[in-house]
Structure 1
């Protein structure tokens, strides 16, 4: 029985990972970590199996890590719209809430989690990040002047340097669509995301990302690997639904 802690467990992808793990109680004992008690109850019915706290609080993280075999990091800073667009073609203006900037959440908050995991003797960390991190001028970095991809990459390098077995997943655009119906494609250094085959949209259903996370907790081929991942369209005639995750992870490589 592998004990797994999922942080960001009430988020769009984190909640899917948590639910998948809870459905496989013969293999995993899942625990969640979240800030919002009301949201935990809304999504899961109760706070059983949940730690409530802030990833900026090292002591709470250390308590949550006790006895944990694997950590799944799905925390991320969330921008808030400050000014909506006033004319066609104009982009809205975003900001981050005080204490919720990418530096504080995506770097320091993830660093805190990694440090707590090291102290607790956690054996494996699966971290879900974002595609686009090779481009410092990426649009996502301009949102709220937060440089979110830059801070995410710093945290990912910190994880690699920590000595814990890692799997880093750089997901393409996230879709709220049914998973398990597409062929998944892996790549490196944003090549797949910037230049997808046949000009397909470089995206992937959240459910498929959640499944990749769960499979990474199982498969030795996923350990000490970092990769980008997207999916072929569901109706792509050349697509073969991905079921062999050991083979998928075998295509991936270490390091950012």
Structure 2
């Protein structure tokens, strides 16, 4: 059900079996005074891997499978994403580029567009009061390399879902992350941008841990609501590690 205490919110993290979603769920679980953390994963295998309580199995492309997980949620963090797979047989020693494909039912149009739309509608039906989405920089460029993978047009579909969210009538935060790194978080200066302006700089990557922290901080700071921004970081050791998230969100002016 919903919140167990006056100031305790039930937060559902979808894509909790993935790297970024798993970190968000872990962070929320360490804050029981503020959150009841729930996770949504695709398979029983992922559920066993994630472990802990309040982990639900559902397929975002099938709306009816989401009802139980979404019941009574106060906030939603969407980290689901289609994942391209490399076609077997690629030999880097022979040059050329590897080819990619998406598994049946796992195309960006299905996961990143219809799947996000299903989540937004399920959240609205549950009375959700804040939706945070982890997206990706590069959405301004239809010819971006990521769109070419498996001819999936992944950034185009993500962008379409973000636009849908911005018009859905629920407070939202859209976090368009740069290239994701599996490194320690909390030790770099974060850089906020818009309209892919950070793509032309040397600083267009960010750690998954920092993205996960932004998701949590977005839930804690009302200044994050109804805003969309690109996010990257300076290299470790350059600048001052970011810690004032209220100011960071307050400085964002873009709503989409």
TM range (shorter): over 0.9
Aligned-partner SS, 1:217: helix
- Runs (5+) with no aligned partner, structure 2: 1-7
Root mean square deviation of aligned Cα: 1.2
- CA distances 1:186-234 after superposition (whole Å, capped 9, x unpaired): 0100002x222xx3x3110100000000000010110000000001111
Residue equivalent to 1:170: 176
Residue equivalent to 1:31: 38
Contact 2:11–2:37 at 8 Å: present in 1 too?
A: yes
Instruction: Answer yes or no: is 1:102 the counterpart of 2:108.
Output: yes
- CA distances 1:75-97 after superposition (whole Å, capped 9, x unpaired): 00001111424555522000000
Residue equivalent to 2:207: 205
Q: What does 1:1-256 align with in structure 2 at a 5 Å threshold?
A: 1-44=8-51, 46=52, 48-83=53-88, 84-85=90-91, 87=93, 89-192=95-198, 194-196=199-201, 199=202, 201-236=203-238, 239-256=239-256
Q: 1:145 to 1:32 in 2, by over 3 A?
A: same
Q: 1:142, 1:18 → 2: CA distance?
A: 31
Contact 1:85–1:91 at 8 Å: present in 2 too?
A: no
- Runs (5+) with no aligned partner, structure 1: none
Q: 1:241, 1:235 → 2: CA distance?
A: 9
Q: 1:38, 1:207 → 2: CA distance?
A: 23
Q: 1:86, 1:242 → 2: CA distance?
A: 39
Q: 2:134, 2:196 → 1: CA distance?
A: 15
Contact 2:16–2:50 at 8 Å: present in 1 too?
A: no
Task: Report the count of equivalent residues.
Answer: 248
Report how far residue 10 of structure 1 moved.
1.0
TM-score (norm 2): 0.94
Contact 2:9–2:35 at 8 Å: present in 1 too?
A: yes
Contact 1:102–1:146 at 8 Å: present in 2 too?
A: yes
Contact 1:85–1:93 at 8 Å: present in 2 too?
A: no
Report how far residue 53 of structure 1 moved.
1.3
Q: 1:99, 1:154 → 2: CA distance?
A: 19
Aligned-partner SS, 1:162: coil
Report how far residue 253 of structure 1 moved.
2.2
TM-score (norm 1): 0.94
Which aligned segments of 4 or more residues in structure 1 are displaced greater than 6 angstroms? none
Aligned-partner SS, 1:32: strand
Contact 1:9–1:33 at 8 Å: present in 2 too?
A: yes
